[in-house]
Structure 1
Amino acid sequence: MQLERVLIPRRVRGFDDGRPDAQAYDVRLDGDRVAAVSPADGPAQGMLLSALVDAHVHLDKNYTVGQVGAAQGDLFAAITRMAQARAHWSGPDLRARMTRALEDAWQSGTRAMRTHLDWNERDAPLSLGVFEALRDAWAGRIELQCVSLTPLDLFAGASAGEDIAREVARAGGVMGAFVYRNADLEPKLRRVFELARQNGLALDFHVDEGLHADANGLALIAELAVRMGMAGQVSCSHCCSLSVQPEAQAQATLAGCARAGLHLVALPTTNLYLQGAWDRTPVERGITRLREAAGHGLRGCIATDNVADGFYPYGSYDLLETFGLGVQVAHLAPATDWLDAITTSPARAMGLAWDGRIAPGCPADLVHLQARDEFELLGPTGRRRTVIRAGRPL
């Protein structure tokens, strides 16, 4: 199979031939690998990306908005409603909703997903067993990872924290916590780092998911990652308060994040929906400082987060749609220069075997778009695609 005259955005290229961004290439596939990438004459007639990587989703919550209602900007109302609904979930219900999400993501061109699973007690949630079964069933199509989404204060109890960490390790998962203006924040976070280190676990935090400038969990997590020898093993999602902090404070925090090798994940759909005023047009945008992070060498990710639940009542698992929203709300231009946010950056954050860069010998897991430039990329025609997995179009 040969793909003719396609653009390969610079940040997705696994080669450096010195050619300009507008250079088109012919890409030859042989079996499940890219066999050759050759410069082509003439204008581009499409764009080629590696298959997409979604570093932050909630497969257990999705498609429940009909049960719980839309929270309309109230994060903690959404948390309360979801807790009430969770008591009535069943294994078949979870499997059906999670499978629906995976099928949507698969058709949209996603090759890997990291899902957070609500884990509010010492014992593992019902969703973990469903997740493990689906991870096996979808192996070879979508690589799945799970994160325990646990209230930070639950880790303060020694035995509860140890039980959670051991079960996450058994399941081959990542340990996580919800962090927002907690009392005694430093010792509680230090406890989570200690548990992760003892059990050989990476960490993934929901942190500073609000617009209070005094929410400083991100800065403390970065400091602890360095102090406790876990640099490069920590992801931090949301980080909304960073957007409203004074410039000097925000820049100092981002410098600390860069030193710690943190993986920063922006979630434009949910954060635009939940953050800022609802009694007037919101001024605050609720998205973290992706551009400033890049200035520190920290290339962030853009991920889906919630779909059709109380936290975000709309959406789908088409990561390109979420990317388009992120480009507009964070003024990420040129858009093609930020496609690493849904390909190579989340691949690094998730520790995937392939970093998503296209070059001879890489997997032939690709997304061929009709877009011929950065401007068509965000339109419905430009986003029309052929998803190629193991060298074959879906």
Structure 2
Amino acid sequence: MKLEALHIPRVLRGFESAAAEVFDVRIEGAHVADIVASPVQRARGMLISAPVDAHVHIDKAFSVREVGAANGDLFTAIDRTARHRAQWRAEDIEQRMERAVREAWQCGTRAMRTHLDWPDAEPPVALQCFERVRERWHGRVTLQFVALTPLDVFADARAARRIAAAVRQAGGVLGAFVYRNEGIVHKLGHVLDLAQEFGLALDFHVDEGLDADATGLRAIAQLALARGLARPITCGHACSLSVQDAVQARDTLRLCAEAGIALVALPTTNLYLQGAWDETPLPRGITRIREAAVAGLRACLATDNVQDAFYPYGSHDLLQVFGLGVQMAHLAPATDWFDAITVSPARALELDWSGHIAPGCPADLVRLAAADEHDLLHAGGLQRTVIRDGRPLRQDEQQVEQYEETAT
């Protein structure tokens, strides 16, 4: 198979390109065989590696009609979801998960990391649902999970160890919701100790609000540098960086870069939840993506919530989330930031392929109709051909089912 006259964004090139900007790509089997400068001077589309969604919540996706939208109040969303979660049936959770993964697959996503609400020592019902969905989608979408536990639960050493042991047994990532907790350094230190003992990666919801005194991200970075963890740490949200003093925020990002922390920005949910609802919200709620890049930390953009109490709209189309992030954070030129949904999250999730396109790389690609950044946010520009294992995937449901039959 040959793809002709395509622009490959510079941040995704794993090959020498000299002055060329338009390329022909030859695919053999399930891999890219060759990339050469195209004789055509004007690109007819764009080629990116299949996106990686580093932060989603497929256990509660599509539950908004039952739970209700929180209209910008994070803790209302948390409380409402907790009340309804106690009555959720396993088959309903699994159905929502299946819908979310299928939607992401059809849009081109190759890997997802979902956070599962894990409020106490007992593994949630959602874990068994996730394990079944993960098995069904094995070989098509790589699925990871994070135990999303309130940080204060880790003050109970026995409960904390039970959670860590269950996460390790299920092949997951240890996580916590961190926001202005009392004794935050001590509790975070205990989480990091557990990660070291059980050999787990870490993924935190941190500083998800517009309080300048929310400094959990800084504490995590300092502890990580002191501990020298073997596995990576990912931190999502970090909204408070946007309202902190610029010098303080930049110093925190410097520490994060030194500690090798992956930073994940969540444009949709943070735009919806942060800021006043009695007037036009002036704070945007997104973390300092551009300042992070200056510090040497290339952030991720991820989907987060879809049609639940936290964000009542949206889908699992990571390219649409990318477009919103470009506008919210003034990421220009947009094509220079495609690593935020490919290379950076692939690193955070410790995937085998970095997402750089080069001869020999997996032919898990997305061909976009947009030939440059100016068409990138246009509905027509986002029309795409998803290529998995070297062959185009049709987007209609019937063809996805046919692919499932041939893949098993």
Per the shorter chain, which TM-score range? over 0.9
For structure 2, the 5+ residue unaligned runs are 394-408
Quick one: distance in 1 between partners of 2:100 and 2:169? 25
SS of alignment partner, residue 102 of structure 2: helix
Equivalent residue number for residue 168 of structure 2: 169
Equivalent residue number for residue 3 of structure 1: 3
| 2:26 matches 1:28 | yes
Misfit runs of 4+, over 6 Å:
none
Equivalent residue number for residue 113 of structure 2: 114
User: For the Cα contact (< 8 Å) 1:73–1:273, is it kept in 2?
Assistant: yes
SS of alignment partner, residue 110 of structure 2: strand
Equivalent residue number for residue 19 of structure 2: 19
Quick one: distance in 1 between partners of 2:23 and 2:288? 33
User: For the Cα contact (< 8 Å) 1:231–1:262, is it kept in 2?
Assistant: no
Quick one: distance in 1 between partners of 2:95 and 2:251? 45
For structure 1, the 5+ residue unaligned runs are none
Quick one: distance in 2 between partners of 1:14 and 1:279? 48
User: For the Cα contact (< 8 Å) 1:202–1:234, is it kept in 2?
Assistant: yes
Quick one: distance in 2 between partners of 1:349 and 1:306? 19
Quick one: distance in 1 between partners of 2:220 and 2:378? 38
User: For the Cα contact (< 8 Å) 1:232–1:260, is it kept in 2?
Assistant: no
User: For the Cα contact (< 8 Å) 1:47–1:372, is it kept in 2?
Assistant: yes
Equivalent residue number for residue 254 of structure 1: 253
Shift of 1:91: 1.3
Equivalent residue number for residue 388 of structure 1: 387
| 2:44 matches 1:45 | yes
Equivalent residue number for residue 323 of structure 2: 324
Equivalent residue number for residue 400 of structure 2: none
Quick one: distance in 2 between partners of 1:340 and 1:116? 22
User: For the Cα contact (< 8 Å) 1:208–1:239, is it kept in 2?
Assistant: yes
Residues 92-151 of structure 1 deviation map (CA, whole Å, 9 limit, x = unaligned):
101111000111000000000000000001010000011111111101110000000000
SS of alignment partner, residue 236 of structure 1: strand
TM (normalized to structure 2)? 0.95
Aligned residue pairs total 392
Aligned letter for 1:40? S
User: For the Cα contact (< 8 Å) 1:82–1:310, is it kept in 2?
Assistant: yes
Equivalent residue number for residue 96 of structure 2: 97
Taking the TM superposition and a 5 Å limit, the aligned residue runs for 1:131-150 are 131-150=130-149
Quick one: distance in 2 between partners of 1:118 and 1:230? 25
User: For the Cα contact (< 8 Å) 1:104–1:317, is it kept in 2?
Assistant: yes
Taking the TM superposition and a 5 Å limit, the aligned residue runs for 1:361-380 are 361-380=360-379
| 2:244 matches 1:245 | yes
Moved more, 230-239 or 135-144: 230-239
User: For the Cα contact (< 8 Å) 1:149–1:177, is it kept in 2?
Assistant: yes
Shift of 1:230: 1.6
Quick one: distance in 1 between partners of 2:52 and 2:345? 6
Quick one: distance in 2 between partners of 1:15 and 1:35? 12
Equivalent residue number for residue 401 of structure 2: none
User: For the Cα contact (< 8 Å) 1:37–1:359, is it kept in 2?
Assistant: yes
